[in-house]
Amino acid sequence: MRSVLLLMFIWTWTSSALVRVPLSRVPSIRSQLRTEGLLQEFLVENRPDMFGRRYAQCFPPGTPSLRLGRCSEKIYNFMDAQYFGDIILGTPGQNFSVVFDTGSSDLWVPSVYCVSQACALHKRFKAFESTSFRHDGRMFGINYGSGHLLGIMGRDTLTVAGMTANRQEFGESVYEPGSAFVRAKFDGVLGLGYPALAEIVGNPVFDNMFAQKLLDEPVFSFYLNRKERGDPEGELLLGGTDKALYTGLINWLPVTAKGYWQIKMDSVVVQGVNPFCPNGCQAIVDTGTSLITGPTDDILSIQQLIGATPTNIGEFIVDCARLSSFPHVTFVLGGKLYTLTSEQYIRKEMLGDRKMCFSGFQALDMVSSEGPLWILGDVFLTQFYSIYDRGQDRVGLATAK
Can you give the residue ranges of every domain in the chain?
19-211, 244-400
- pLDDT, position 147: 57
The 8-class DSSP code of residue 214 comes to -
Choose the weakest-confidence range: 1-5, 179-183, 218-222. 1-5
| Buried-state track 50-84, b at ≥16 Cβ within 10 A, e below 16 | bbbbbbbbbbeeeeebbbeeeeeebbbbbbbbbbb
- What would the DSSP string read from start to end of 323-367? GGGSPPEEEEETTEEEEE-HHHHEEEEEETTEEEEEESEEE---E
Q: What is the mean pLDDT of the chain?
A: 81
Beta bridge partners of 225: none
Report the DSSP pairing between strands 163-175 and 107-110: parallel
Cα–Cα distance between 293 and 115 in angstroms, integer?
A: 33
Confidence of residue 206 (pLDDT cuts 50, 70, 90): very high
- pLDDT, position 137: 82
Cα–Cα distance between 57 and 63 in angstroms, integer?
A: 10
Residue 314 confidence (pLDDT) above 90: no
Q: Is the peptide bond before 48 cis (omega within 30 degrees of 0)?
A: yes
Cα–Cα distance between 363 and 295 in angstroms, integer?
A: 6
- pLDDT, position 298: 94
- pLDDT, position 16: 42
Largest CA distance in the chain: 71
Amino acid at residue number 210: F
What value does the mean pLDDT take over residues 379-401? 96
Residue 178 confidence (pLDDT) above 80: no
| Buried-state track 133-169, b at ≥16 Cβ within 10 A, e below 16 | beebeeebbbbbbbbbbbbbbbbbbbbbeebebeebb
What value does the mean pLDDT take over residues 1-13? 37
The answer, as to whether pTM is greater than 0.75, is yes
Residue 42 confidence (pLDDT) above 50: no
Active-site residue set: 101, 286
What value does the mean pLDDT take over residues 17-36? 71
How many other C-beta atoms can be found within 10 angstroms of the C-beta atom of residue 242? 15
Choose the weakest-confidence range: 79-88, 189-198, 210-219. 79-88
Residue 183 confidence (pLDDT) above 80: no
- pLDDT, position 155: 96
Cα–Cα distance between 350 and 272 in angstroms, integer?
A: 32
What value does the mean pLDDT take over residues 298-322? 89
Q: Express each pLDDT in 44-66 by its tens digit.
A: 444 433 333 433 333 334 433 34
Cα–Cα distance between 361 and 270 in angstroms, integer?
A: 13
Cα–Cα distance between 338 and 329 in angstroms, integer?
A: 8
Cα–Cα distance between 71 and 169 in angstroms, integer?
A: 20
Give the CATH class of 244-400.
mainly beta
- pLDDT, position 35: 56
SS3 352: coil
- pLDDT, position 55: 33
- pLDDT, position 243: 94
Residue 267 confidence (pLDDT) above 70: yes
What value does the mean pLDDT take over residues 356-369? 88
Residue 93 confidence (pLDDT) above 60: yes
Which backbone phi and psi does 66 adopt, to 5 degrees?
-65, -25
Between residues 289 and 340, the one the model is more confident about? 340
Cα–Cα distance between 12 and 34 in angstroms, integer?
A: 48
What value does the mean pLDDT take over residues 234-252? 94
Residue 230 confidence (pLDDT) above 80: no
- pLDDT, position 14: 37
CATH architecture type of domain 19-211: Beta Barrel (2.40)
SS3 354: strand
Rounded to a whole number of angstroms, the CA Rg of the chain reads: 21
The 8-class DSSP code of residue 125 comes to B
Q: Is the peptide bond before 60 cis (omega within 30 degrees of 0)?
A: yes
- pLDDT, position 48: 35
Strands (E), 112-146: 134-144
Between residues 55 and 346, the one the model is more confident about? 346
Closest CA to 109 of 120, 96, 99: 96
Q: Express each pLDDT in 66-91 by its tens digit.
A: 443 333 333 334 445 568 899 999 99
